[in-house]
Structure formats: C-alpha cells, structure tokens
Structure 1
C-alpha cells in the first residue's frame, strides 16, 4: 500500500482504544547506541531543553539527519527549537533514542506514534505499531485501520484490515465504518478474504455508507459493482422491493439500482470470493445461479 494517502483518501482519526499493556523493552532489533555519547546540541520543545548528540539522532531519523546535517540554517546552530510536538511525548522519544526503552501505555501510545511519525523515528514508530496490533479488537479495528492508513503503518493497517474482513458482519454497523473513504469500502468489498455468508451484508453496507452522506450517491453504482448478485438471498431481495415504496434515502438508492443495473450484474461477470456460499434455491438437484437482469428489478421477482 502507499505510504501515505492524499487528503481525500485519509480516513478520519478515532478515539483511543482501551490499551492495558506497557512496553519497557524493545521487541525488534534496535540501532546500537553508545551509552556515553557527549551531547553537542540543545533542542528546545515548549520551553524545555533537551541535550542530545547530533550524530546519534541523525542515525535514527531522516528528520534529524536533515535538521543537523542538511543545508538549513539549523545545521550551524547549537540551540534549535522543535515546533509542532508535545514536550511529554518528545521526552519519551528522546529517552528511547538514548536507551532503546519506550514506555507506552493506553493513554499515550497514539500520540507517541504520531510524534514518532512526525520526527521519522522509525524504531519507536514500529514499537507503537506492534503495541496497537496486540490491542486490536472488534470495537476498534475499523478506526485503527483508518488511523494506520493515515500514518502509513503498513503492518498495523494489514492486521486491522484482516480483523475487519474476518468480522465484517459485526463491524459494518459501527460509526467508524461510516467515516471510511470510498476507496477503503471498495477495497473491503473486493477482497477475497471478506467473510460473509451472503452478499446481503455487502449490499446493506453499501446502502448504509452511501445514505450517510448524500454526496456519496455518485459512488453508489461503482460500489454496487463489487456486490455478488448470485450471493444475494431471495428474502433480502424481496425486502429491497418493499423498501422501494418508502421515502427515505435508501429507498431512493434502491430505485436507482432498479433503473441502472451494473454491467457485471446483468452479464454475470462477478467473481466469487473464496469463502463458503449459499445458493438461493435448488431445481432438479442442481443449484440455480440467480442473476438480476435489466431493465426492471421488480420484473425479476414479481
């Protein structure tokens, strides 16, 4: 995946999950540091001074490498002010840079990760990501997936995405799901790892996501292309027909689907996901594949 999404693709932030563990020792191989390196520069953050060694920080971070040894005016200064970071989080990261110990808890891990990302301290960033991976849960996996994508944490993103795909039926009703980007929704629906018995849930998820914001209606037919019509159940389709008489936004979307059928639905080009499926009914001992055909949804079932 791309390391960073542009403004349109960035999912929103989310409330910190409940974290219970603390890391005092690193789990990944860290850059060896000299215990008695002499500080040669002062960094000031929110009025507090930190005495550090340029060479050691430069080895650990491209940010500091450019700051200390680049072409900017800071490279010749002995006192440099760092803006845009919290002093408490900065202190923890400077301790990690010196000792390789990173103190993480349920209250600071997200902000430590953001700060480490800003300062390009990859070792601390990786530890925060590993910490959050172990705390993935149904209640936070959607938000964590969006958060990881926003910061370009590929391993955390992959782990959170897998939880979402595995427990899609439990998470698509969450508020965080409504804040995902169109690209994220499409990625989930297209995945062969999407674990759903019927595509009723996939279609319901699309309707819910699009109905949340009227501006999303332009994406409706594109996302519907990713729903497998042969895996829709007859009771669910019957329910869709009854909704057409309603006046809410979802009913309008269903009417739009009735009018503009996706090409893949009418031509039977959809590809089954690698999962267990259910046939709608059986005739003469052979499963019948049920495709919706234009020009009218109601004509197929009434």
Structure 2
C-alpha cells in the first residue's frame, strides 16, 4: 500500500480549522448534544467534551464531583445571555467580535468562566481604545476584574490627561477611592494646582450631602503652596455652599499637609531630529525636519534641519545645558554641530578625531563624550570598522580630545550616565551580530570595566536614567529592562504596546517617551508615541501621533523656554 495514501489526512497546518469546522457542523446539525447552558432565559445546547477542553471552569464543572457534572441543563448565573452565547460560539469557531457595546459583559463573563484567550482579547481591545473619554471606565472595570496592570495603566492615562478627564461625565461618578488615587501621585498632570481643587469641589458638589465628608481626605493631597493666594482667599470668603470645606482648606493651607504631592510637572520639550520617514510619497526617505513635541506628544513646532543633515543617518545627539550637540552620521562622519534651542540657530563645532556613525553620546560631569560607533570608506561594507575609541569635548579649548577606549568595540548600543559613571549596553560587534556585554566607565579610575551582562544580546536599545536606576527600551528588547547599578542586576518590566525596533527614546520628567519605530511584521514605520512611567511601571500610547512616521531618528529633551 502507498504510505502517502495510508497516512492521508489534513496536514498539520490544516488540521485545527478542519477540526473546528467538523465541531461546528455537529453543532449546526444538532447532533450529539449532551448539555444545555442557560442564562437570562436563553438556552444554548453544547457538548460537554468541547466545553471541558475549552475552559478550566467547565473542565472543573464536568470532570469533578460537582452536581452539575450529572445535570443536562445548567443555569450560568452572573453572565449575560449574549456574552455566554458569544463565548460558546468562540469555543466552536475560535472567532469573536468585540465592540464598545459588548466589551464589559463579555470581559466579565470571560473572566468569570476563565476563558483566558477571550479575556486577553478584551484586554487588548481596552488598551487599543484607551482615550481621555474611556480611561476612567476602563480603570473601574479592570479594577473590578482584578487586572491590576491594566487598571494601573488606565489610572496613569487618566493622570496624564487630567485636564480633559476632569471634564468628563464619568469623572463625577468616580468612587472616592479612585479619585484619591488619581490626585495623590506625582504623575498627575495639572498645569495649575487650582485645577485639582476645582476638580475635587466639582466631584463633591455632584452629591454634596454624601460626599462632603470626604473633602478633607481629598484636599490633603493638594499642594497649597502652589495655589494663587487670591484664589484661595476667594474660596474661603465666598464659597458659602462649602462652608465646612473652606474651614478645611484654611486649616490645610496653614498647616501644609504632609500628604500633598511632592514634585512639579517637568517643563520640557522633546526634539525629534532626522531619521527615515514613511509618509505617502516620502516612503523610506531621509527626513530633514526637526519637530518639537510637548509632554502630551503634540507637535508645537516644525523647522527644517540645515542642509548638512541631508541624507545623513546614524548620527548621535545629547543635551548640554539647553543646547543640543549632534555628531557624525553616515554622510558626515566627522562633523559636529551645536544647536541653541533658545536662539534656534546651528553652529559648527570642530571635526571629530575619527569618523563615526551608529555611535552614542552622553554628558558626564559636564563633559560631552562620544563613544564607539562604526565607520567605512568607499568600499562599504568591506571596509567597515567598529570602533572602541572614545573622545570628549573640551569646551574651553573648543576641541575634541582622545579619551579611554572601550574594552569591546561596539556600535548601535545604549548609553547612560548614572552615579557619575557611564554605562554602555549591548550593541553590535559586527554586521547584525549583537552582544550582551555591558561596559562601565569610571572617570575617577579612568578605565572601562565589564559589569553583569544583559540577559540576552541586544542592539539598538536606548537607556535612560531615573534616580539611581537605568531603564532600557527599544531595539531587540521585548520589554522594558531595568538595571540597578548598585545591585548589578536586571529586572524585566512592562512590554511595549506597539513595535519599537529602530525607535528613539528620551527622558522627560519622570517618563520615558518612545517615538516611532519599525514594525517588522507589517513592514511599516510607526508614528506612535509610547510613554513609560517609571514610578508606576506602566506604558501608555499617547492619543496624538507624531506628524510623520519615523525610524532611526534621534530624540532629546530640552528645557522649555
């Protein structure tokens, strides 16, 4: 007998849909049903075997000692009939439709019945539909579902867009503990502290009789030292409806509550320079504009970069004071420039000592370091050289001086200044070959040493220092990676919400802004701005995209003028 005939059957890649089609055929023909699920008066005939294989909830119900294991008709309480029908349909077809209208009952039913794939689909839907209009509802819903990471993400989003969120109808319905969590943390974005007071008073006025008792605990989080004295005086003297509240305000303003948020919102702007754009007719073209973004990702200004940036990729940038230093690039390997953000002017700096692209820069003890990278001559890629050399800018002499070289030559790596030392993370040691090596420079010893390697080889990452920790994003990473120099150890944190290879990142305040990137699956360039909040470990996608899709660009943060 022909073995190929004897072993004939659906191939591996065909078997799952073929099998599901057979199951759906049995169901549509009404064959072999052995149990009926009921919810809100609707009856849904099913097969115990399918349900048991599909969900832990039903596996425990039918395969254990529960009385339901013998019943032909089972009432499922606490779920809507439509949600139950959708979940049963998913068991037979692997298809489900999630909308803004059915997300809540479907998510609650999937959570209760332990249908993990559908629950994950619902959570992804909520993330993709996060906005100032939806974040409060998502926060309350996911908190109820004990989905702590998504609840914290929604809270962080609401704090980011507090100005808009406080005007939503849903804000007035927030439980008091949610409002407390919203206004107590340092990541609350309010241009003026008066907005926080007005939001609390508006919430209380919505049900004054019931909510007045919560005013003191809420107002304790207000930074009274940041309030306009006239504004405060006006409330105390004129707001008769809040007679009790005015006494609380007076008491707290004089005592300065210890519960008040501690820090102010960082006033800075993000500059995006160069890169490769994908914008209709400009697909895969060098991008020669510079964008200024505010802390919400809004583009506040666009200027054209000087002609010497044309066709240049792989340059590096860092901030010195309020100026930006830019060096190297594929077509200008020894060039260096200084951009004055206050004057919006560019000036030339002396040439670098060596040609460099895909290198990095950092400021250490007030000095600009240019580290590693690669260079090539006319014979690229055969004449490609990965560099271990380092040079430092002497502002007094207006010159570049040789510094201690790296122990391992690398390009396309991450760099950060932390604890008065420089750290170089991963990078490429040859074309396409990444490394897990981490190199540390101590200026007091004038030497580079190796510290604990990365968990996996990496290239193209961006490293940002927050307090005493270094956070890495982008490149080959599949999550935010935190390095603790004191412990010489790594911690994996939240995952990106959109692909971030070839993205750029910069620290603005206590948040890391990750701009653009390349999606290898769809072969498209990203225009999103992801924002990682290190204090609460959440990642959100800002509601406004960049003016253009970008990859391979530079981003830096400058003080707001």
1:179 equivalent among 151, 163, 173: 173
SS in 2 for 1:44: strand
The answer to which of 240-249 and 131-140 deviates more is: 240-249
SS in 1 for 2:222: coil
Q: Show the counterpart of 2:419.
A: none
Query: How big is the shift at 1:110?
Result: 2.4
Query: How big is the shift at 1:168?
Result: 0.3
Of Structure 1 and Structure 2, which has the larger fraction of its residues in strand? Answer: 2
In 1, distance between residues paired with 2:237 and 2:225?
24
In 2, distance between residues paired with 1:184 and 1:156?
14
Query: How big is the shift at 1:166?
Result: 0.6
Cα pair 2:185 2:261 within 8 Å, conserved: no
In 2, distance between residues paired with 1:136 and 1:249?
36
2:246 equivalent among 250, 254, 273: 254
In 2, distance between residues paired with 1:276 and 1:257?
26
Mapping for residues 95-244 of structure 1, pairs under 5 Å: 95-213=89-207, 214-232=209-227, 234=228, 237-244=229-236
Q: Quick one: structure 1 residues 264 and 128, their matched pair in 2 at CA, closer, same or farther if it must change by over 3 Å?
A: farther
In 1, distance between residues paired with 2:223 and 2:252?
13
Query: How big is the shift at 1:59?
Result: 4.9
Cα pair 1:42 1:52 within 8 Å, conserved: yes
Query: How big is the shift at 1:269?
Result: 7.3
Task: Report Cα offsets for 1:243-285 as digits up to 9, x if no partner.
Answer: 3343542354123322x3379616x6745236227xxxxxxxx
Task: Report Cα offsets for 1:88-120 as digits up to 9, x if no partner.
Answer: 322211122233222223432222222223323
Q: What stretches of structure 1 of length at least 5 have no aligned partner?
A: 1-31, 278-302
Cα pair 2:79 2:108 within 8 Å, conserved: no
- Decide which structure has the larger Cα Rg and report it: 2
1:41 equivalent among 34, 37, 40: 34
Query: How big is the shift at 1:175?
Result: 2.0
Q: Quick one: structure 1 residues 264 and 75, their matched pair in 2 at CA, closer, same or farther if it must change by over 3 Å?
A: farther
Q: Show the counterpart of 2:60.
A: 66
Q: Quick one: structure 1 residues 248 and 212, their matched pair in 2 at CA, closer, same or farther if it must change by over 3 Å?
A: farther
Task: Report Cα offsets for 1:144-171 as digits up to 9, x if no partner.
Answer: 2222222333343233222211110111
Of Structure 1 and Structure 2, which has the larger fraction of its residues in helix? Answer: 1
In 1, distance between residues paired with 2:261 and 2:132?
28
Cα pair 1:129 1:155 within 8 Å, conserved: no
In 2, distance between residues paired with 1:170 and 1:80?
46
Q: Quick one: structure 1 residues 86 and 218, their matched pair in 2 at CA, closer, same or farther if it must change by over 3 Å?
A: closer
Query: How big is the shift at 1:122?
Result: 2.2
Q: Which has the higher contact order (CA 8 A, sep 6+)?
A: 1
In 2, distance between residues paired with 1:118 and 1:263?
50
Q: What stretches of structure 2 of length at least 5 have no aligned partner?
A: 1-15, 27-31, 268-561
TM-score by length of 1: 0.68
In 2, distance between residues paired with 1:107 and 1:143?
13
Number of equivalences: 240
In 1, distance between residues paired with 2:154 and 2:112?
22
In 2, distance between residues paired with 1:75 and 1:173?
51
Cα pair 1:143 1:176 within 8 Å, conserved: yes
Task: Report Cα offsets for 1:64-110 as digits up to 9, x if no partner.
Answer: 23322333211123443434433332221112223322222343222
In 1, distance between residues paired with 2:34 and 2:206?
52
Cα pair 2:163 2:190 within 8 Å, conserved: yes
